Structure 1
Amino acid sequence: MSLTLDAAAQDLLFREAQTANTFTDEPVTDEQIQAIYDLVKYAPTAFNQSPLRITLVRSEQSRQRLVNHAMGANGPKTLSAPLTVLLSVDLDFHEKLPTLFPHAPGVKDAFFSELATREAAGSLNATLQAGYFILGIRAAGLAAGPMTGFDFGGIDKDFFGDGKQKSFLVINIGKPGADAFFPRSPRLAFDEAVATV
C-alpha cells in the first residue's frame, strides 16, 4: 500500500533526514520559526493541553549561559549553530485549558490541580510536541540537531528561576554544514518492532 505523502516529502521528513552536527552560518529567522510553529501547533495533546514552550536562544550571552550546562561536544556544536532552541514544559499549562479545551470547562480542576499530575502529563505531551517540532524544522528545509546531553536542572535555575518551566531538550537548527551527518545507524525491522494481538 502506498502512502498519500509523495516520495520527495517522505525523504525530506524521514528517509533522508538526520540529526545534524554542523551547520552553515546562514541565519534562521523568526519568520521561519513562526511558520514552523504555526504548522506544528496542531500536534495532538491530551485535552489540547499544549504544554510545550520554546525559548529561542539568540544572544551570545544567553548562548554562553546555555553552553555552561552542556556536556562534551554539545557545547561547541551549540556555539556554532545559527539558532539554538530550548524546549521546556510549562507546569502551569492548565491555566490555559479553559480556552484550549472549551468542551469540558471543569477539566482544569478535575485533572490538573496537583503539580505531580501536571508534571507527568505535561512531560509526556510536550515530548510528543517536540517530535512534531523536529518534523516542522525538516519541513522548512532546515536540519535539526536535538540533544539531551545538558544539565537540565542547571538550565532550569539559570533560565526559568521561577520553577514554572522544566527544560528537557535542546535543538540546534540551521542548514547542514560540512560533514554534518554521522553514518546512518540501523533501525529495527518491521517484524522486530510491530506485533499483532
Structure 2
Amino acid sequence: MIRGYSVGCTTPRNMDRKKVPGKKFHVSVAGRTNGAHKTYVNDLKGLGQIEVNSPEQSDYLVLLCPIASRVGTDIKEAMDKIPGGKPIVLVVMHHTFNKDHFVSESRRFVENPDVIVIVDVLFHESKMLICNRNDTAWFQVKDVLVVSSWHSFWRKQPTMIITGIVVSVSAVIVLYLVVRYA
C-alpha cells in the first residue's frame, strides 16, 4: 500500500483510457500546495517513473492544479501555462480538512485533447488526505501509466522474493548433493 492508497477501488470512466508513452515526466505546479504535491511525485517515482527537469525531456506532463478561487478559472490558467503536444496527467487539488468533502468532477472544464486523465484529490495543509476520492484518483493515474507489474511487486514484496530465491537455490543444492552422493 502506498501512502494510504487502498486496494480494491473501482475506476470510473475517465477520458479514453489512453496510456502515456513512456516513463519520464515533468511536474508543473500551478499554485500553492504547501508541498502536498510531493506525495504524488514521490509515488510516481515509486512506480518506476522518472522525473525530469524540463518538459522537452519528458514523455508526459503532470500538472498539479490547486484550486484557489474557481475551478474552471484555475484549471484554464494552469493549462494556458504549460506547453502543448505532450500527454498531460491533470491532478486538480482541492484544499479541505474534510475527507468526505464533495467536489464535482473537474473534467467538465477541460477540452484539451492532450489531457489523458483528470483526477480530483483532497489535501489539507501539506498532506494528501487519506480518503476514497484520493484512492480512486491514484488508481486512475496508475491506470494510464506504463508500469511494470514486476517492478510494483518487487517494491511491495522484496523480502518474500528474496526468501523465495534463497529457498529455491537451497532446494537445487540439496537435490544436487542427494543425487551426487546417493
Same-fold call, TM cutoff 0.5: no
Ranked by relative contact order (alpha carbons within 8 Å, sequence separation 6 or more), the top structure is 1
Structure ranking higher in helix proportion: 1
Structure ranking higher in strand proportion: 2
Task: Answer with 1 or 2: which has the greater Rg.
Answer: 2
